[in-house]
Amino acid sequence: MTTVISREWEHVVVTGGAGFVGSHLCTALLDAGAAVTCVDDFCTGRPENIAPLLDRPGFTLVQADVAEELPVRRSPDLVLHFASPASPADYLRLPLHTLATGSDGTRHALELARSAGARFVLASTSEVYGDPRQNPQDERYWGNVNPVGPRSVYDEAKRFGEALTTAYADAHGVDTCIVRLFNTYGPRMRGHDGRAVPTFVRQALDGEPLTVTGDGGQTRSLSYVDDTVAGILAAAAHGMRGPVNIGNPGEITMLELAELVIELAGSDSEIRFIERPVDDPAVRCPDITLAKDKLGWQPRVAAEDGLRRTIDWFRAEAAV
């Protein structure tokens, strides 16, 4: 992966660094010459994601639950807070841990940045918009979130994290940024994590029916992980506070996605419709005007190209 980083970082702490997006961030930062401390409790992160990094100069792994502590000895100049269960299957299985990571974990990461005088970037999510009544969603939209629904443990953890990040910037002068990530996909996702792309890819490669919820008319906007990482690092280097949407404005229905995965995988799988989850958003599409204007960033990887790369990775993983 080639990522242009317009600011040189000496030491970066990545919480959730063994996760899907976190591990790609660790790789990109090491490639750019930064020392990286990856902090992860492996509740959803995978050792395999960072195994190739363990012997690289400048890489340090700290196994810890950021909701309990953040035991980093070397002072960083950048803290990327990406620790959190992110898929519905994970945060529904770990509701209290998800909330604790979004609250206490965010506070610990902010305190580390505050004590070190470091730049701080919070990984927020398009889920703060809930089931939006505005489409596409720009950063001024306040959202339509059910605070006591099954998704609330994730949605409200991220919304609280945004509030806490803003308060630290205002009250303590911490140099903060909030990035709202939209439906990132790519290599290193777990096939059973419950999100649409890895689920469809796994099912297509295994010859199973692709399980589309509802009538498949709900939309998502898919951002390939290389694009997402480039957007995150551009926001970190820019110095903006945000929030800023990082995602791909190309909107696709879940039925269209399932059909595309079947085609690209060369699969004979059929499509089976199942019950739609409670509070499942009907639409999801970012307005990325702010990211384009302020960061000079926009996604470059087309859906078909990104999905091919993802399918190839899953196929290679299955062959090991």
**pLDDT tens string 218-252:** 999 999 999 999 999 999 999 999 999 999 999 99
pLDDT-based confidence at residue 320 (cuts at 50, 70, 90): confident
Query: What was the pLDDT predicted at 92?
Result: 92
91 noted as active-site residue: no
- Catalytic entry in 91, 154, 168, 224: 154
Which residues, 6 or more positions from 220, have their beta carbon under 8 angstroms from its beta carbon? 183, 196, 251, 252, 254, 257, 284
The CATH number, out of the four listed (3.30.2310.20, 3.40.50.720, 3.30.365.10, 3.40.50.11720), of the domain defined by the range 11-185+223-248+285-300: 3.40.50.720
Query: What was the pLDDT predicted at 319?
Result: 81
Q: pTM for this structure?
A: 0.95
Read off the pLDDT of residues 169-180 as tens digits, 9 standing for 90 and up: 999 999 999 999
Give the Å distances, CA to CA, from 290 to 73, 161, 240: 36, 21, 11
Say if residue 1's pLDDT is above 70: no
Query: What was the pLDDT predicted at 318?
Result: 87
Residue 162: closest CA among 133, 129, 118, 136: 129
Read off the pLDDT of residues 261-313 as tens digits, 9 standing for 90 and up: 999 999 999 999 999 999 899 999 999 999 999 999 999 999 999 999 999 99
At 287, phi and psi to the nearest 5?
-90, 115
Q: Are 37 and 25 in contact (CB under 8 A)?
A: no
Average pLDDT, the chain: 95
Which residues, 6 or more positions from 312, have their beta carbon under 8 angstroms from its beta carbon? none
